[in-house]
Chain A
Amino acid sequence: MVSESVISARDVRMSFPDGAGGHVRAVDGVDLEVARGEVLALLGPNGAGKTTLLDILLGLTTPRSGDVSIGGSNPRTAVQSGMLSALLQTGGLLPDLTAGETVRMIAALHADPADVDEVIDTAGVRAFASRPVGKCSGGQQQRLRFALALLPRPEIIVLDEPTAGMDVSARHEFWDRMRAQADEGVTVVFATHYLEEAEQFARRTVLMNRGRVLADGPTDEVRARAGAAYVTVSWDPTAAELAQVPHVVRADREGARTTFRTEDSDGLARYLLTATDARGLTVRPASLEEAFRLLTEDSATPGETERPVVSADSEEVRV
């Protein structure tokens, strides 16, 4: 398949006043290329800059600097032509309209909308189409927003935490519907703070924190980095012994205990227990938040005992 870029962002920057006279860099020099038909997860904790970046891609926010091109034109043109659409995180609905009326009303504002009834079925809105939006559950409102996103028959769909407020089965069902869209060749970019969602649905993941891209590559690879674990043993190695230990990202010694951060806890544990005299081994997986923090630290200030790290700002790994 020819890899043709449909979303192209170069050195995009955006900052907001922080209320204390300074500025918060919400998006701080992001580069992003998304190929046609790609499914990409934008993974990051709250406040990572995901929503701001998506707003910029949609033309809802004008970046302070940088270039954004959607299918060769600017975001606003892409939206008006119906090429690009989105499911937004909050608000966006009138409580006194019914779900069905909302779909019809927004359909009137698209140049070449899909058939309203078809969209209502595809997005699973049929069951509550005549209910006022204000009386719909969070999951139902999310399905309605999905229907609105499908109306312009988009080639690119941007989703900002689409399953927020959904229970497990609703989440499952939502991704099934989304997968059907992706199978049709629709390019999907979604923001999430669930690592599982990125793993299950996206082949490529972009890891973001504090407005910067920390990692960008196949989800498995990013997960390996984000899904780091800590292995702690009682061991008093020499510097040479320490240097031989495989799979180690970082080592910290605290008294008689040595803690390794690793991307392969099994391999490391096997080595420590068979090739060295380390004892009392414990393994603790790093939480996603922790992984984000560690990745940020790695790219900023290398510690003293640190071993060579897979650099967070290394070349992009493309699918």
Chain B
Amino acid sequence: MTVATNPRTHVRGGYSLGRYIAMDFRRNLRNVGNSFFVIVLPTALFLFFGASMDWSGEPVGVGNVSAWTMIAIASYGAAMATTSMAGSAALEIQQGWGRQLALTAMPHGAFIVAKAAIAVAMAALPVLVLNLAGVFTVADMPPGVWLATVALTIAGSLPFAFYGLAIGLSFRSDAAVGAATGLLVILSFLGNAFMPLDGVLLDIGRFTPMYGIVALARYPLTDGDLVSMGGAAGSDPLWMVLANVAAWTVVFAVACLLLQRRRTTRR
């Protein structure tokens, strides 16, 4: 039995990007290590630190401490998802899968669209799971604020796609992408995500990449007001939060651009 019949006319352009995205999404979801770190671990962190502490029910802004913690841990999970998705996409392309795809009807740009869609879907997963966990435990916010923070959490994870891409382009190994994802724990700590910082750590933290996206996602809840263990809390103006997000987005994006240029000239 043979497949080819000749001569024959071909239909053009009928490839199914949707099916490719669905299959690749399932493949990434099935990656147990990945899914554990992106979904299970943040959810466990929240249930432990965000939903069962004595102070979880204390008021913060228009909600409570539990909501304040939930938003940040969701940001952490979403950033991990986009980092590892973008990093592994860079590796796939460099390890020859890109050549395989170049032999199909799919244009190169469609691969980026597909990966972006998968990265957003993967980022949405921990956000949805965490927010559901929040709904069923003690987290509390007005519904409108809740929806706004969910949207901002997912949007805020996008700069980290550039971060993952830059790592994938410069180190070309799964281990490097894993390390970059792991580094997000430290960046999230400095980004005021896990526990309220003050003093020198807060001053340093303001300039780190996770700080901006966490503060932005919390903005509808807190209006920029800081939470502090000691009681002496300050406030972050919106422009400062946006400046952090914009600056780090530019840094990561330019890094990708430079790395990509270096890669193409070397060939």
Q: A: which residues have CB within 8 A of B?
A: 16-17, 58-60, 79-83, 85-86, 88, 90-94, 96-97, 101, 104-106, 108-112, 114-115, 118-119, 121-122, 148, 150, 152-155, 180-181, 183-186
B219 to chain A, nearest CB (A): 38
Do A180 and B2 contact each other (CB < 8 Å), given the known contacts A108-B20, A111-B14?
yes
Q: Given A108-B16, A109-B106: A88 and B99 within 8 A (CB)? A: yes
Binds A, one of B23-31, B59-67, B179-187, B210-218: B23-31
Measured CA separation A88–B96 after assembly (Å): 9
A121 and B96: CB pair below 8 A? no
The A-contacting residues of B in range 1-43, CB under 8 angstroms, are 1-8, 10-17, 19-20, 23-24, 27, 30-31
Contact call B13/A94, Cβ cutoff below 8 A? no
Given A60-B99, A91-B96, A104-B23: A155 and B15 interface contact (C-beta under 8 Å): no
> Nearest-CB distance from A316 to chain B (Å)?
25
B97 touches A81 (CB 8 A): no
B261 CB-CB contact with A under 8 Å: no
Between-chain CB contacts (< 8 Å), 20 pairs: A79-B102, A79-B103, A80-B104, A80-B107, A81-B12, A88-B103, A90-B96, A91-B97, A92-B96, A92-B100, A105-B20, A108-B20, A109-B16, A109-B105, A110-B104, A111-B12, A111-B15, A118-B3, A185-B4, A185-B6
What mask results when residues 86 to 105 of chain B are scored 1 for a CB within 8 Å of chain A, else 0? 00000010011101111111
A155 partner, pick from B1, B7, B17, B103, beta carbons under 8 A:
B7
A91 to B16, CA, bound (A): 23
Partner of B8, one of A79, A111, A115, A153: A153
B99 touches A80 (CB 8 A): no
Residue in chain B with minimal CB distance to A90: B96
- CB neighbours (8 Å) of B27 from chain A are 94, 96-97, 101
Contact present for B23 and A105 (CB under 8 Å): yes
Interface residues of B, dominant DSSP: loop
Q: With A91-B97, A94-B27, A111-B11 in contact, do A82 and B105 touch (Cβ < 8 Å)?
A: yes
Given contacts A91-B95, A148-B100, contact A122 B3 (CB under 8 A): yes
Q: Is the CB of A58 within 8 A of B2?
A: no
Which residues of B sit under 8 angstroms from A155, Cβ to Cβ?
4, 6-8
A-B complex: 5 closest residue pairs judged by Cβ atoms: A91-B96, A109-B104, A108-B19, A92-B100, A185-B6
A60 in contact with B4 (CB, 8 Å): no
Q: A92-B99, A110-B104, A114-B3 are in contact. List 6 more A-B contacts (CB 8 A).
A: A79-B103, A91-B95, A109-B105, A122-B2, A153-B3, A153-B10
- Contact between A111 and B5 (Cβ–Cβ < 8 Å)? no
Which B residues touch A16, using CB under 8 A? 267
Residues of B within 8 A of A186 (CB): 4, 6
Report if A150-B3 is in contact (Cβ < 8 Å); known contacts: A58-B103, A112-B11.
yes
* Cα(A92)–Cα(B93), bound, Å: 9
B100 and A106: CB pair below 8 A? yes
CB distance from A177 to the nearest CB of B (A): 9
Smallest CB separation, A126 vs chain B (Å): 12
Which A residues are in CB contact (< 8 Å) with B4? Answer: 114, 150, 153-155, 181, 184-186
